[in-house]
């Protein structure tokens, strides 16, 4: 009997993850999914308790000048062998009601510590964009926490951006999200809409929520040069965004051809392996020094 109850529980969980008001019948494959989820949660919890989270920074480049305008903070953590890992093994934890906001809190504090250090040594790093998940907004008081953390270190709101994906706008609690984002925005923190073009969001969200930047999803950028459809979508998003007064960031630029297409259609900022992968905080000063030189070469050319 307990096996049947467990199976029912797992099917219930699968139904809930699939969205509201749906019925799912248990299949053995669901068990694998649940175990994978539990492993992710356990690994994230370990990373928090052993304090092995290390934010890494990927540069964002202004396409017109080739200079670094800022960075995106990406979560990296060390496993028990000390090996550096990307978020994919802990991904489920970002949306976990309890763990998600603990992860964000840890990232926020570490990123602000790095920013404070760069500020003290007079490094012109621009800004750091921080990823935020739905769990952060459900807790309440998120904007307050961010603003208090900035104030405690005497940092200006312009030194960070907050990145959210379209799905935080959906479902119940969208009102809370709007309130929190508005509080951040009113304080002068810029908001970026991440993975744009892949979600279910409607275009009206762009005017309803205080969005300042659009990040065009990597899946479109990577098909530049091979898919006229992807190119049409990319250039339309750039125009649409500009008409609404938004800054456009292209994610996942890997080739010079993609970069030059984006520059031609007036995309503002680029990010991707073509420039650099995410790097530890200690590598940021050298990255900026190199960008300074690249900018000068671009100007001379």
Binding site for ligand C2E (CB under 6 A): 58, 74-75, 86-88, 94, 104, 107, 131-133, 194-195, 218, 252-254, 272-273, 278
d(CA 123, CA 276): 19
For ligand C2E, which is the closer residue by CB, 10 or 72? Answer: 72
Per-residue DSSP letter, 251: -
- Let me know the angle formed at the C-alpha of 151 by 149 and 157, rounded to the nearest 5 degrees: 90
User: Closest distance between ligand C2E and the C-beta of residue 157, in Å?
Assistant: 19
**Min CB(95)–ligand C2E separation in Å:** 8
Q: Which residues bind Ca ion (CB under 5 A)?
A: 131, 163, 194-195, 251
177 binds, among ligand C2E, Ca ion, none (CB under 5 to 8 A by kind): none
Q: Nearer to Ca ion by C-beta: 14 or 115?
A: 115
47 Cβ contact partners less than 8 Å away, ≥ 6 residues apart? 53, 77, 78, 90
**How big is the CA angle at 59 (ends 55 and 61), to the nearest 5 degrees?**
160
Return the number of the residue (11 or 199) whose C-beta is nearest ligand C2E. Answer: 199
* Residue 120, Cβ density class (10 Å: 0-12 exposed, 13-18 middle, ≥19 buried): exposed
CA distance 115 to 99: 24
Count CB-CB contacts under 10 A for residue 277. Answer: 11
74 binds, among ligand C2E, Ca ion, none (CB under 5 to 8 A by kind): ligand C2E
Tell me how far, at minimum, the Cβ of 52 lies from ligand C2E, in Å: 14
In the complex, least distance from residue 237 CB atom to ligand C2E, rounded to whole angstroms:
16
Q: Which residue lies nearer to Ca ion by CB, 96 or 195?
A: 195
Minimum distance from residue 15 beta carbon to ligand C2E (Å)? 24
């Amino acid at each position: 009997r307990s096996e049947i109850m467990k199976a029912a529980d797992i099917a219930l969980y699968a139904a809930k993850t699939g969205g509201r008001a749906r019925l799912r019948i248990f299949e053995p494959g669901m068990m694998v999914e649940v175990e994978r989820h539990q492993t992710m949660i356990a690994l994230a919890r370990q990373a928090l308790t052993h304090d092995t989270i290390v934010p890494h920074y990927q540069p964002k480049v202004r396409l017109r000048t080739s200079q670094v305008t800022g960075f995106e903070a990406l979560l990296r953590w060390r496993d028990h062998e000390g090996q550096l890992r990307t978020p994919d093994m802990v991904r489920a934890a970002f949306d976990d009601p309890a763990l998600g906001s603990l992860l964000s809190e840890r990232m926020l504090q570490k990123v602000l510590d790095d920013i404070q250090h760069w500020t003290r040594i007079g490094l012109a790093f621009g800004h750091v964009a921080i990823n935020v998940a739905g769990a952060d907004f459900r807790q309440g008081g998120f904007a307050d926490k961010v603003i208090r953390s900035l104030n405690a270190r005497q940092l200006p709101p312009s030194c960070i951006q907050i990145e959210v994906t379209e799905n935080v706008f959906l479902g119940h609690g969208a009102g809370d999200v709007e309130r929190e984002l508005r509080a951040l925005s009113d304080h002068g923190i810029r908001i970026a809409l991440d993975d744009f073009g892949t979600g279910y969001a409607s275009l009206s969200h762009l005017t309803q929520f205080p969005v300042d930047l659009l990040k065009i999803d990597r899946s479109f950028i990577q098909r530049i040069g091979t898919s006229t459809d992807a190119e049409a979508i990319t250039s339309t998003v750039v125009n649409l965004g500009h008409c609404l007064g938004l800054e456009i960031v292209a994610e996942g630029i890997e080739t010079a051809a993609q970069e030059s297409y984006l520059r031609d259609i007036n995309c503002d900022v680029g990010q991707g392996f073509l420039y650099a992968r995410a790097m530890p905080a200690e590598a940021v000063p050298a990255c900026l020094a190199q960008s300074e030189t690249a900018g000068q070469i671009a100007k001379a050319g």
